[in-house]
Amino acid sequence: MLKWGAGCFAVALMATATAAGAAETGLMSLFDRSKPSVARVYGQALPPVGFVSFCSRHESECRSLGGTRFQVQMSPERWELLNQVNRFVNGSVKPLTDEEIYRQAEHWDYPQTGTGDCEDFVLLKKRYLEGLGFPAESLLITVVLDEAGEGHAVLMAKSDRGDLVLDNRRDNILLWSDTKYEFLKRQSQDDPQIWVALTNKRRNEATIAGGN
């Protein structure tokens, strides 16, 4: 069984030596933009059922932070940390569905046995990055529709260079606007238990639960 405590932060930094040139190129592309690319908010949205259940079991990790809308000032060092954590978690967790792991349609949790679906990847990346000094209110669980119209979850990092996406389906970090996803909703920066809509289209909640 894999342990996901604070001691793994050091392992994450050492075990994923991101190619320095590629990481620097990705960072420079953010600064080449005329202005940061930020997802528009259209009002409140219902939180995912799996998230509500997760918060009932992990109350301390879903507390309000007092409405601070913090954006990470992206430096080469922080960019490297984002890349290392994204790659480390992607390479350490085997993707399986909630049905395969828990015999449930939807269950959000940390990957206790080295397996998980997309939400579990997101939760672990968020925990690691908070442990490395990233403010919790800048790391937001986000629900999207992928290219096939299937529900999927990613981690959105709010930065001064735009909204960055950490995804278990790729190791490179992209601006939200550079993905091919349709962004549906995410946690609010004001309160992690409140969710906001990133689209003004009506969606059936049953079709937008996170997938793999």
Give the model confidence (pLDDT) of 75-129 as tens digits: 889 999 999 999 999 999 999 999 999 998 899 999 988 999 999 999 999 999 9
2 in a structural domain: no
pTM of this prediction exceeds 0.75: yes
pLDDT at 29: 74
pLDDT at 8: 47
The domain total for the chain is 1
Q: How far apart are CA 97 and CA 108, in angstroms?
A: 11
Residue 2 DSSP label: -
Helix or strand holding residue 141 (H, E):
strand 139-145
CATH number at residue 182: 3.10.620
3 in a structural domain: no
Q: How far apart are CA 156 and CA 209, in angstroms?
A: 17
pLDDT at 202: 72
Contact (Cβ atoms closer than 8 angstroms) between residue 110 and residue 4: yes
194 pLDDT higher than 60: yes
Bigger pLDDT: 9 vs 165: 165
pLDDT at 20: 47
Bigger pLDDT: 200 vs 65: 200
37 in a structural domain: yes
The dihedral through the CA atoms of 119, 156, 188, 110 has a sign that is positive
Beta-carbon neighbour count of residue 136 at 10 Å? 18
What's the pLDDT band for 2 if we cut at 50, 70, 90?
Answer: very low
Query: DSSP letter string over 61-82?
Result: GG----S----B---HHHHHHH
Q: How far apart are CA 161 and CA 34, in angstroms?
A: 10
Contact (Cβ atoms closer than 8 angstroms) between residue 186 and residue 140: yes
Contact (Cβ atoms closer than 8 angstroms) between residue 206 and residue 46: no
Give the model confidence (pLDDT) of 3-44 as tens digits: 444 444 454 454 444 444 555 666 777 777 777 799 999 999
Domain span at residue 163 reads 8-207
161 in a structural domain: yes
1 in a structural domain: no
